[in-house]
């Protein structure tokens, strides 16, 4: 709510002084008697409070008159987006190797999920989709602008939910299937993996060439510390143990994918570096949002005027006809 003529609100100050002045004067008796105990017997509490309510009602009317003169209004702003944003497919590796704990105190998948969610929350007017992949690849969320729902979907992503292999080519192809009919001027993929392509029917390099042909840029992120890390698993007798096999990241292929699509390759070795990478991508792929604002006003003046008229009429009828107040 706003006031079209806010300076009228200054009149509330003299009204406040008037109320204080009259309340003090009412403490002084108009007629002085040496003993008023006799009047206690004929005192009627209902008429006493009724006579006081007359004064408060007049104060209320004066208050509403000042508010009415200030012209209170409610404002409704509707925004129309004039241009489309970017279509973004997020490709997340969920293979078993993402359980590696070189991103202490969390594993790679947990950190990847958190940073992806944060990246999505900063976008505006962009359509975003999500693909999870392992030995297989499937769409977790199609292109959408409902960032809250997409963010909540990350809570259901688990290790090995798409198999234990790493089908990078299949992941890119699945994302392209969602982007091929896009009419957006800018289409990108953010591919995050910690392994090398070891399964799937589509070669990652060939998939990147297809992406280039339909105008899709790929930002590839290799996650994991240099030299790899041991993968934890749960033994039925010994509980949590670590395998002797280290994870391996095929940076050559990821760099080729990025180069083929005019994208970029990044290496994330800890949580902070992964956050920095997403912030960098966020800056590279910004869309200028053009919008029109439609503002509509609702004026409370007529409603308040009607309330004041009813209160004045009520005050006249009640205290000048039904109940006559003697000063």
> How many folded domains does the chain comprise?
2
Using DSSP, state whether 14 is helix, strand or coil.
helix
Which tens digits make up the pLDDT trace of 114-139? 999 999 988 888 899 999 999 999 99
**Does 58 lie in the same domain as 155?**
no
Indicate the range of 197-206, 279-288, 302-311 predicted with least confidence.
279-288
3 closest CA partner among 68, 52, 49:
68
Residue 304 belongs to what domain range? 2-26+45-76+297-322
Residue 183: per-residue pLDDT: 83
Mean pLDDT of the chain: 84
Residue 273: per-residue pLDDT: 92
**Does 228 lie in the same domain as 149?**
yes
**Does 254 lie in the same domain as 122?**
yes
d(CA 2, CA 165): 60
Residue 97 vs residues 134, 172, 233, 294: alpha-carbon distances, Å? 10, 19, 10, 52
**Does 307 lie in the same domain as 264?**
no
Whether 291 is in a domain gets the answer no
- CATH code at 101? 3.40.50.410
Q: Is the pLDDT of residue 21 over 90?
A: no
Which tens digits make up the pLDDT trace of 251-289? 999 999 999 999 999 999 999 999 999 999 988 887 665
The mean pLDDT of 74-88, rounded to a whole number, is 75
277 compared with 59, residue with greater pLDDT: 277
Q: Is the pLDDT of residue 298 over 80?
A: yes
Whether 38 is in a domain gets the answer no
Residue 6: per-residue pLDDT: 86
295 compared with 96, residue with greater pLDDT: 96
Helix 251-260 to helix 168-179 angle, to the nearest 10 degrees?
20
243 compared with 235, residue with greater pLDDT: 243
pLDDT above 90: percentage of residues in the chain? 42
Whether 96 is in a domain gets the answer yes
Radius of gyration of the chain (CA): 36
The answer to whether 164 touches 134, Cβ cutoff 8 Å, is: yes
């Amino acid at each position: 709510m706003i006031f079209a003529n806010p300076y009228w609100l200054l009149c509330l100050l003299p009204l406040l002084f008037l109320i204080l002045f009259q309340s003090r004067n009412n403490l002084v008796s108009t007629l002085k008697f040496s003993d008023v105990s006799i009047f206690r017997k004929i005192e009627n509490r209902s008429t006493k409070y009724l006579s006081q309510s007359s004064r408060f009602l007049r104060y209320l009317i004066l208050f509403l008159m000042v508010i009415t003169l200030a012209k209170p209004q409610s404002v409704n702003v509707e925004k129309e987006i004039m241009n489309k944003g970017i279509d973004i497919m997020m490709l997340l590796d969920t293979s078993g190797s993402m359980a590696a704990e070189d991103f202490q105190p969390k594993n790679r998948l947990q950190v990847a999920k958190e940073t992806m969610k944060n990246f999505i929350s900063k976008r505006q007017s962009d359509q975003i989709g999500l693909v999870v992949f392992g030995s297989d690849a499937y769409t977790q969320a199609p292109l959408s602008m409902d960032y809250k729902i997409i963010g909540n979907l990350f809570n259901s992503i688990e290790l090995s939910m798409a198999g234990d292999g790493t089908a990078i080519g299949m992941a890119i192809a699945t994302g392209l299937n969602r982007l091929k009919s896009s009419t957006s001027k800018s289409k990108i993929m953010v591919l995050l993996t910690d392994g090398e392509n070891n399964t799937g029917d589509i070669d990652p390099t060939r998939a990147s060439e297809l992406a280039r042909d339909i105008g899709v840029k790929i930002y590839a992120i290799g996650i994991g510390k240099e030299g790899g890390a041991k993968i934890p698993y749960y033994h039925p007798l010994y509980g949590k143990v670590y395998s002797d096999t280290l994870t391996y990241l095929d940076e050559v292929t990821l760099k080729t994918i990025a180069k083929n699509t005019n994208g970029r390759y990044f290496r994330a070795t800890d949580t902070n570096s992964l956050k920095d990478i997403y912030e960098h991508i966020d800056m590279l792929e910004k869309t200028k949002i053009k919008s029109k604002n439609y503002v509509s006003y609702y004026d409370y003046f007529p409603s308040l005027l009607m309330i004041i008229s009813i209160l004045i009429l009520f005050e006249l009828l009640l205290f000048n006809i039904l109940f006559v107040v003697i000063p």
